[in-house]
Amino acid sequence: MRIQSAIKEKITAQLTPTSLEIIDDSDSHIGHAGAHPEGESHFKVVVVSDKFDGKNKVERQRMVYEAIKDEMSNHIHALELKTLTPTEAEDK
């Protein structure tokens, strides 16, 4: 839970999300390249934040990557992102 907790803390601090869902999907990748025996290498993250207003998909993803750059460079092998504004989240 160390990496997952760091992701939550850093995204919360940088993007003040109205909703944040973090799923550790590492068990689905056991034996694959980049998978760590201790897990916490593959994540799915859904972030809903006002800070995404007026930003395109790439800009939003860069904001998330910037928030968790240390984890991305040191431990996370794969990250699936969904970034939404509160209005977009309501529409879904």
CATH code for position 12: 3.30.300.90
- Position 42 scores a pLDDT of 84
pLDDT digits (tens, 9 = 90+) for 18-74: 999 999 988 664 556 655 556 678 899 999 999 999 999 999 999 999 999 999 998
Name the pLDDT band for 17 (thresholds 50, 70, 90). Answer: very high
**55, 83 from 45: Cα distances, Å:** 18, 8
* Between residues 84 and 92, the one the model is more confident about: 84
Domain that holds residue 36: 2-91
Domain total of the chain: 1
pTM of the model: 0.86
CA-based nearest residue to 55, from 84, 80, 79, 81: 84
Token readout for 21 is 């869902």
- Position 31 scores a pLDDT of 55
